[in-house]
C-alpha cells in the first residue's frame, strides 16, 4: 500500500526555519501531484500547499505565501516544505497527502487527497 | 475564498443509527467535494471524492450526495469504529478549504 512518512518537525523559535520531508514509497511518485495540509492543536484541517508532478504548478495558502516553499525530488521520491519566518500560529501537525485523480465526463478532472502520511508536529515557541 | 460550513458541529448517536452530516459551500462548487474521517491522534482518512464516489476500500455504509452548494455524508448503520470527526473539503479551485468538522460521539 501507498506509504507517506513525514519527518523534520520539532520545536523552533519564532522567526526560525524548519524543513519538513515526506518520503513516498510503494507508488510511482512522479505520476502524482502532492500536498501539505496542517492541523493546529485541537483545530480543523487547513490546506497549505500543492505541487504538480513536475513542479511546474505550485500553489500556497495566503497564510504561508512568501514564507513557505514546497518542492519535490522525483529521483528520490521526496516531498519537502521549507518553512521560514515561522510564527506561533504555524504550530500544527503537518501532513503530506497524495492527490488522486478522477475524470468526470460532466465536470472534468478531479484532484483530491487520497492518501495521507501520519504527520509531523511543528511547535513554534520561545 | 469559498467557505465550507458543516452541521451539526457534533452529534450523539447509538450503534446502528443512521447518521447524516451536512456541508454547505458559500458558492457553487459543482461536485468538487471530498469527505474525510479522523480519529483522535490519527491522520485523516479519505472516504469520498466527487461528492459521491467512494475511495477504494471504503465500506458501502458510507455514502455522499449533493451538488452545487449543498452536500451530505450519510453513515447507514453506525458502528463502534465510526465514532470520529468528519470533515468536508472543496477542491475545485484554490485555496482548498475544509469544513470545521462534525464530531460523532456515542450517545
Q: Report the residue of chain B nearest A35, measured CA to CA.
A: B96
pLDDT averaged over consecutive 10-residue blocks of chain A (126 residues)? 97 98 98 98 97 97 98 98 98 97 89 96 98
The minimal CB distance from A102 to the residues B53, B89, B99 is found for B53
Q: How confident is the model at residue B59 (pLDDT cuts 50, 70, 90)?
A: very high
Minimal C-alpha gap between B6 and chain A (Å): 12
Close Cβ partners of B81 (under 8 Å, ≥ 6 residues apart)? none
Provide, as residue numbers in chain A, all residues whose Cβ is less than 8 Å from the Cβ of B97. 47
Strands A18-25 and A78-83: antiparallel
Judged by CB atoms closer than 8 Å, whether chains meet at A104 and B31 is answered as yes
pLDDT at residue A107, rounded to an integer: 86
Cβ neighbours around A96 below 10 Å, total: 30
Please answer yes or no on whether B34 and A111 come within 8 Å at the CB atom: no
pLDDT score at A79: 98
Render the burial of B31-61: b for 16+ CB within 10 Å, e for the rest.
bbbbbbbbeeeebbbbbbbbbbbbbeebeee
Q: Give A99's contacts (C-beta < 8 A, 6+ positions apart).
A: A32, A33, A34, A35, A50, A111, A112, A113, A114
Amino acid at each position: 500500500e501507498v506509504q507517506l512518512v513525514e519527518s523534520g518537525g520539532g520545536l523552533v523559535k519564532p522567526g526560525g526555519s524548519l524543513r519538513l520531508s515526506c518520503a513516498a514509497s510503494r507508488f510511482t511518485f512522479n505520476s502524482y501531484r502532492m500536498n501539505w495540509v496542517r492541523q493546529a492543536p485541537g483545530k480543523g484541517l487547513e490546506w497549505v500547499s500543492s505541487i504538480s508532478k513536475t513542479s511546474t504548478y505550485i500553489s500556497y495558502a495566503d497564510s504561508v505565501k512568501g514564507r513557505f516553499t514546497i518542492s519535490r525530488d522525483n529521483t528520490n521520491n521526496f516531498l519537502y516544505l521549507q518553512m521560514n519566518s515561522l510564527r506561533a500560529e504555524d504550530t500544527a501537525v503537518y501532513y503530506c497527502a497524495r492527490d488522486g485523480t478522477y475524470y468526470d465526463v460532466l465536470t472534468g478532472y478531479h484532484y483530491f487527497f487520497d492518501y495521507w502520511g501520519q504527520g509531523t508536529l511543528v511547535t513554534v515557541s520561545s | 475564498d469559498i467557505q465550507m460550513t458543516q452541521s451539526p458541529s457534533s452529534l450523539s448517536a447509538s450503534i446502528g443509527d443512521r447518521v447524516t452530516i451536512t456541508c454547505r459551500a458559500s458558492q457553487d462548487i459543482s461536485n468538487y467535494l471530498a469527505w474525510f474521517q479522523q480519529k483522535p491522534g490519527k491522520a485523516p482518512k479519505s472516504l469520498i471524492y466527487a461528492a459521491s464516489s467512494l475511495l477504494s476500500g471504503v465500506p458501502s455504509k458510507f455514502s455522499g450526495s449533493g451538488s452545487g452548494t449543498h452536500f451530505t455524508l450519510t453513515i447507514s448503520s453506525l458502528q463502534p469504529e465510526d465514532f470520529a470527526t468528519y470533515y468536508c473539503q472543496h477542491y475545485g479551485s484554490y485555496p482548498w478549504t475544509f469544513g470545521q468538522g462534525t464530531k460523532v460521539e456515542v450517545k
